[in-house]
Copies of this chain bind each other. A is one copy, B any other.
Amino acid sequence: MSLIVVGSVAYDGVETPHGKVDRMLGGAATYISLAASYFTPVKVVAVVGGDFAREDTDLLVSRQIDLTGLERVPGGKTFFWAGVYSADMNDRTTLRTDLNVFADFNPKLPASYRAEPYLFLGNIQPALQRGVRAQLDAVRLTGGDTMNYWINDFRGELLETLKQWDFLLINDSEARLLSGEQNLRRAAARILEMGPRTLVIKRGEYGAVLFQGGRHFMAPGYLLEDVFDPTGAGDSFAGGFIGYLAGRGIDPSHGDLDFAELRRAVIYGSVMGSFCCEQFGVDRFRTLTREEIDARYSEFKNCTDF
């Protein structure tokens, strides 16, 4: 049983206080898939241009990621994003966004994907997210991400889409924007009324909070000694979170997602986000092993238990 991941596969130009890379593999679906691939088989749905390099395909394939749904537009160019981070890396400024072939992305699922039970919808137009879900015959668990743009300008469509989701995974500023509440607990209560029965709010270096019903679980952020590049950390969190749940064969069709499993999924998400920051772009995933992941999970336990 596989996880379907839908979203952007891109090239990024990134500058952090630790260095500058003009063009490297990036995109939400890339990070989500790489992180999830340590826990479960992954099938990607995305679009790239004729400039998409063989070595980048090879990296994804080396992690057993199924690329049948990776559409190639030979005459087009791959989505390109460039940004620069502030000294403390808590803020970034976008220098360039060339949507290229991503502008016309209309995800179509290959026949070989349609029986899969797990779906993570990366940040794309809400109606497209809904369209993807409709192509699955036996979806068991649906969740995803969104962003300020859709919350502000496509609110109606987004709310329609959210009704079908089991979980929503967004950052704190998006949660405040979506709910209209400044306080995180109140924001969560409002969002849980919109459809998803589980909500994860990411707080960057400060960790994440999981909400379900009247309960919540707080995970502090892993304290890294060196943050080289935070790009993709939130998507790697998402990949660890959904990857862990899919790998465990979770089935919420008879009620809420198991809260103990969700707690562990949040920690695995934090672990994957922390590894992502240790090198530029996706580089950490070139060498990362499941043993290192489990060791950091144990370290997390050690650093939070009382």
In the bound complex, residues from chain B placing their C-beta under 8 Å from that of A183 are: 224-227
Whether a CB of chain B sits under 8 angstroms from the CB of A216 is: yes
Beyond A260-B306, A266-B306, 5 additional pairs, beta carbon < 8 A:
A206-B206, A207-B220, A218-B223, A220-B220, A267-B306
Q: Which of A77-91 contact B (CB under 8 A)?
A: 87-88
> In chain B, what residue has the closest Cβ to A262?
B306
A220 touches B223 (CB 8 A): no
Sorted from nearest, which 5 A-B pairs have the closest CB atoms?
A: A218-B220, A263-B306, A206-B206, A220-B220, A185-B225
Q: Contact mask A195-228 → B, CB, 8 Å, 1/0?
A: 0000000010011010000001111110111110
A306 in contact with B264 given A182-B88, A186-B225, A226-B183 (CB within 8 Å): yes
Task: Identify the A interface with B (CB < 8 A).
Answer: 87-88, 182-186, 203, 206-207, 209, 216-221, 223-227, 260, 263-264, 266-267, 301, 303-306
CA separation between A216 and B306, bound complex, in Å?
12
Q: Are A303 and B217 in contact (CB under 8 A)?
A: yes
Q: From A263, which residue of chain B is reached at the shortest CB distance?
A: B306
Please give, as numbers and ranges, the residues of chain B lying within 8 Å of A184 by CB-CB distance. 223
Question: Please, could you name 20 A-B residue pairs with CB atoms under 8 Å apart, sorted by A?
Answer: A87-B182, A183-B224, A183-B225, A183-B227, A185-B224, A203-B206, A206-B206, A206-B207, A206-B220, A209-B220, A209-B223, A216-B303, A218-B220, A218-B303, A220-B220, A260-B306, A263-B306, A266-B306, A267-B306, A301-B306
Alpha-carbon distance between A203 and B88 when the two chains are bound, in angstroms = 15
Judging by beta carbons under 8 Å apart, are B87 and A217 in contact?
no
Chain B residues near A203: list those with CB within 8 A: 206
A61–B304 CA distance with the chains assembled, in angstroms: 36
